[in-house]
Amino acid sequence: MNILAIESSCDETSAAVITEKDNRPFLLSNVISSQIDIHKAYGGVVPEVAARAHIENIIPVIEKSLSEADLKLDDITNIAVTAGPGLIGSLVVGVETAKAISASQNIPITTLNHLEGHIYANFLNDKQPEFPLVALLVSGGHSMLIHMPKHLEYQVIGSTKDDAAGEAFDKAARILGLGYPGGPAISIAADKGDQGKYSFPTIDLTPKPLRNEQGFLMKPELSLDFSFSGLKTALITQVKKIGEENLDTKIVNDLAASFQKAVIASLNQNALRAIEKFKPKTFILSGGVAANKLLRESLKEQISESFPGVYYRIPDAILCTDNAGMIGAASYYHIKKEGPQKDNFVANPNLKITSE
């Protein structure tokens, strides 16, 4: 099995070749062409500009992924492509390219949900995660806790009520004048700042206890949901209090560190609650925000302290942000279970990871 995987859901054009080794997916190449430099000038991803850049990049990126894997198109047995969620103009480029290669070469296609790709980035390394597992998926568009009793079965057990974690970092970076993409910029500034300087709350969406008919306080179930827009408002309020004209490097670094601490505290809080509730064998951190050093380290520390029996998995930083390798990894398990899909399909910007 040699899978050519294609990912173009947002602002990275990527193609990867995955083969099978020891009954698991093995990465032969993973070429990522980032559009960060193009979108930097606008302070964020401009969908039409992204779609155009994908059109220019996709064939060279696919050719490079084949040559790095030392394979030809004739050697490819399956094509895997992200069908959603994402930006429609970006998704269409990958999907239609995959269809064209499939039709001309008679290679079957498997379509993937981008989010399962992020989770399956963790299945590319040596030690395979064991089920049941809980995944914290934190990216620019999503913040979710997902329970997986077994391969390809997803139960969303927590999600964000407003902004995603990556979005919160991106917006905070804009407020602090740190540029795009915000996550890495905040993380770099935070490294030089004092995280205790400003106090931002750890968001907990657990409802207040209510009294039952007998007048006893009923303990509510601890919430696994997230909310980050209040933190953004708290940051704006703090900046106004300081005065925008007074923001110097030291203050910005301290604000970045304090803000990052608050976002991570709320992610860690719910991650630990999910482990307590679902008692998984493995806990997986995934998505672009999983590249964040403090999140990776603090979660590792807290899990090993509170749940020493749980195997904690994080992908290498390069596999956290968007790449086709993770799409190929997820497709490997789909192909093994279901065979290649043959149905007609279209890009779906709102594709859900669960069927409900």
Residues of this chain that interact with ligand KG4 (CB under 6 A) are 10, 139-141, 166, 169-170, 181-184, 187, 287-289, 291-292, 321-322
**Nearest distance in Å: CB 208, ligand KG4:** 31
Binding site partner of 183, from ligand KG4, Zn ion, none, Cβ cut-off 5-8 A by kind: ligand KG4
Q: Which is nearer to ligand KG4, 12 or 254 (CB)?
A: 12
Nearer to Zn ion, 187 or 253 (CB): 187
269 binds Zn ion (CB under 5 A): no
Contact window for Zn ion (CB under 5 A) among 25-33, 261-269, 318-326, 327-335: 318-326
Q: Decide which of Zn ion, ligand KG4, none touches 291; Cβ closer than 5 to 8 Å per partner kind.
A: ligand KG4
φ, ψ dihedrals at 15, nearest 5°: -140, 145
Closer Cβ to ligand KG4, 157 or 320, answer by number? 320
Q: Does 12 bind Zn ion (CB under 5 A)?
A: no
116-145 positions binding Zn ion, by CB under 5 A: 139
Establish if 322 lies at the interface with Zn ion (CB under 5 A): yes
Q: How far is the CB of 313 from Zn ion (least distance, A)?
A: 17
Nearer to Zn ion, 139 or 268 (CB): 139
Helix/strand/coil (H/E/C) assignment for every residue in the chain: CEEEEEECCCCEEEEEEEEEECCEEEEEEEEEEECHHHHHCCCCCCHHHHHHHHHHHHHHHHHHHHHHHCCCHHHCCEEEEEEECCCHHHHHHHHHHHHHHHHHHCCCEEEEEHHHHHHHHHHCCCCCCCCCEEEEEECCCCEEEEEECCCCCCEEEEEECCCCHHHHHHHHHHHCCCCCCHHHHHHHHHHCCCCCCCCCCCCCCCCCCEECCCCCEECCCCCCCECCHHHHHHHHHHHHHHCHHHCCHHHHHHHHHHHHHHHHHHHHHHHHHHHHHHCCCEEEEECHHHHCHHHHHHHHHHHHHHCCCCEEECCCHHHHCCCHHHHHHHHHHHHHHHCCECCCCCCCCCCCCCCC
Decide if residue 286 touches Zn ion (CB under 5 A): no
What is the closest distance, in whole angstroms, from the C-beta atom of residue 261 to ligand KG4 in the complex? 13
Rounded to a whole number of angstroms, the minimum distance from the CB of residue 320 to Zn ion is 9
Binding-site size for Zn ion (CB under 5 A) equals 2
Q: By CB under 5 A, is residue 82 in contact with Zn ion? A: no
State the minimum distance, in angstroms, from the CB of residue 296 to ligand KG4: 9
Cβ atoms of 80 and 294 within 8 Å: the answer is no
Q: Report the nearest approach of ligand KG4 to the CB of residue 178 (Å).
A: 11
Judged by beta carbon, residue 3 or residue 285, the one nearer ligand KG4 is: 285
For Zn ion, the closer of residues 90 and 139 by Cβ is 139
Chain residues binding Zn ion by CB under 5 A are: 139, 322
